[in-house]
Amino acid sequence: MVLDYKDVLVSARNRQIRRHRRVVMLAVLGAALLALAFFVLINADSRRLKRIEDELLQERLADAENDLRQLKSSWFHPAAKRELRALQDLFQRHLSQGEAELKGIKPRDIPVSVSHGRFLEYFANHGLYRELSIYSAYLLGTGNDSARWYHALALMALLDFRAATAALNQLSPAFQAEYQKPIRILTAIGRELEKGRLDYIFSRRGQPLAGYDLKTGRTLSLVPGIDFTPFTESLRQGIRFFTLTLDVDIQQAVHRLLKNRRGSLLMLDLDDGSIRVAYSPAGGNAVFDQLYEPGSIIKIVTLLAYLRSRQKPLFPFHCPGWMTINGRFFYDALKHGDVANDQQALAVSCNLSFARMGLALGFPAMSDLLKRFFFNSPGFTDQGIFFRTGQFADIGGDAYRLANLVIGLKEIEISTFHAALIAALFAQKGTTREPFLIDSIKNVLHLGYYNHRQRRLEVISDDLSMMHVQRAMAGVVEDEAGTGRRARVDFVQTAVKTGTSGRKDLGLDAVIVGYFPVEKPKYALAFRLEGVGRAEFQGAAFLRDFLEVIYNHHDD
């Protein structure tokens, strides 16, 4: 018998081939799955990198920080991760840390996966020139014109005009031809800097208000009555062009009206809250930050508190010129005699009438309303410019101190800015727009990156009480015995409150707040004349002269 192994051998060989094929197929499948996993992971990281870019550019720094932390353990995109971490530092203003991180990336490793142009453009458009200088210097290693251009822009903005000019000259002819206009702008700024001064603060009408002197490192005011020193540090961080709301003509007119007197004046445009005049004595910005006794101007707040409290009537009242409070004498400068009502009390500024209102109110009610009118508050800021508001003492149950508080003496202080804001709130029945000085800011290429946005301030919505105080303020001027009668003019009706504060031996200060025209308020103002005497004389005369200037100015 003969055994034939042919088919058996063939069958074994086929099984080996099949097993080999299965191994190969499993290996290929495993490699494919591994490649797919790598692709998924790399793609996920790439998406996260792009998301981090968006979060940084949208200033969502907390989200960017969280995503960067999740990327930390990933093996992929190491250079891109380092660059984004460095950018995160730059956005958080950790400049030295971000710069060190970027310097650790070799030019050949600069990742193409990061959208460099978006960040260069962001830093330039937002006036972040130190950040732009660091980031563009890092990208010079790529050898492209875009990095050179932004580096030249940063150098010019940081006042290094010679290095900026050299960098501009290194741009390719094709790039220079394409960027003719912005290059001309930088070249013109370079020529100004070479002469030693750059005008960088302007009015809405384009009039120069201040310039930076390179030799002294100081900002020089070109209009009287305002100190632009607070802007200097901003310019040292890179050239920015500011547009302010000031009216140069009125500012200069106030300077002429004051002559050799010391005084501060602030006027607000009620349409948008813009500061049209901000005048201080030489040196500093007292109009924004100096506190002083308000005197009787605070009586408009006292009257409002009295009206809202629905106290039993305190009038008619006979004013003998003095009264006793807890055994202490409390005086008025005049014996007003019979005071028919609260409006007449405001018109003649009867201290005794208002002391009685305050005593009927009590300290808590007066304190609450003063705080609503921004006393004892942090104040206001406008792009780094600080506007200080007033403060008052916690007098508890001391009746004599309360009487002084409600007539604006000893226990309370105010700034001229704050006084004008209060006038604006009364002009508009408790709601106005937040005052501002900086209208817009442009970068070194004169491209705007900041425009003021109006914000409403609502203190109170009691229209009837507010209207009552408005009529009383108009009576201060219109009443024949009113303390503001000497400010009366025939071309516009004003509503004001006069105040006198300070010490006789040092010279009394005249303080006035108000708004005009009464029928449709357009402006609110406050001013303080130091050492001139009582407000109903010198203060009222100054207001009359100021109104004549305003209306002559607007008739031109």
Render pLDDT for 270-310 as a digit per residue (tens, 0 to 9): 999 999 999 999 888 999 999 999 999 999 999 999 999 98
Query: 234 and 380 share a domain?
Result: no
CA distance 371 to 377: 7
CA torsion angle 257 259 260 261 (round to 10): 10
Please tell me the total count of domains within the chain. 3
The domain spanning residue 406 has which CATH number?
Answer: 3.40.710.10
Q: How confident is the model at residue 140 (pLDDT cuts 50, 70, 90)?
A: very high
DSSP SS3 for 455: coil
Render pLDDT for 182-232 as a digit per residue (tens, 0 to 9): 999 999 999 999 999 999 999 999 999 999 999 999 999 999 999 999 999
Q: Which residue range forms the structural domain that includes residue 389?
A: 252-555
Render pLDDT for 46-62 as a digit per residue (tens, 0 to 9): 788 899 999 999 999 99
What confidence score (pLDDT) does residue 39 get? 43
Question: How does DSSP assign 323-381, residue by residue?
Answer: EEETTEEEE-SS--EEE-SHHHHHHHT-HHHHHHHHHHH-HHHHHHHHHHTTTTS--EE
Query: 169 and 202 share a domain?
Result: no
Q: Which residue has the higher pLDDT, 108 or 202?
A: 202
Query: 410 and 468 share a domain?
Result: yes
Render pLDDT for 10-24 as a digit per residue (tens, 0 to 9): 566 676 777 777 766
Q: Specify if 185 maps to a domain.
A: yes
Query: 182 and 209 share a domain?
Result: no
The conformation of residue 435, written as its DSSP 8-state character, comes to: P
Q: Specify if 70 maps to a domain.
A: no
Q: pLDDT exceeding 90 applies to what percent of the chain?
A: 81
Query: 155 and 278 share a domain?
Result: no
Of the residues 209, 244, 279, the one at which a domain ends: 244
Q: Quick check: 540 pLDDT over 90?
A: yes
- Residue with token string 């458009």: 125
The conformation of residue 453, written as its DSSP 8-state character, comes to: -
Q: Quick check: 74 pLDDT over 90?
A: no
Nearest to 126 by CA among 238, 232, 228: 238
Taking CA atoms, 215 is separated from 16, 196, 197, in Å, by: 90, 7, 8
What confidence score (pLDDT) does residue 220 get? 94
Q: Contact 323/355 with Cβ under 8 angstroms? A: yes
Query: 287 and 144 share a domain?
Result: no
Taking CA atoms, 551 is separated from 40, 273, 491, 520, 538, in Å, by: 73, 20, 8, 15, 20
Which range has the worst mean pLDDT, 75-89, 143-157, 307-321, 432-446? 75-89
Query: 81 and 203 share a domain?
Result: no
Q: Specify if 10 maps to a domain.
A: no
Give 361's Cβ-side CA count (13 Å radius).
28
Query: 410 and 548 share a domain?
Result: yes
Q: Specify if 174 maps to a domain.
A: yes
Q: Quick check: 153 pLDDT over 80?
A: yes
The domain spanning residue 144 has which CATH number?
Answer: 1.25.40
Q: Specify if 432 maps to a domain.
A: yes
Query: 358 and 440 share a domain?
Result: yes
Query: 343 and 482 share a domain?
Result: yes
Query: 174 and 204 share a domain?
Result: no
Q: Specify if 434 maps to a domain.
A: yes
The whole-model pTM stands at 0.87
Q: Specify if 84 maps to a domain.
A: yes
Query: 433 and 332 share a domain?
Result: yes
Q: How confident is the model at residue 37 (pLDDT cuts 50, 70, 90)?
A: very low
Phi and psi, residue 93, nearest 5° = 65, 25
Q: Specify if 442 maps to a domain.
A: yes
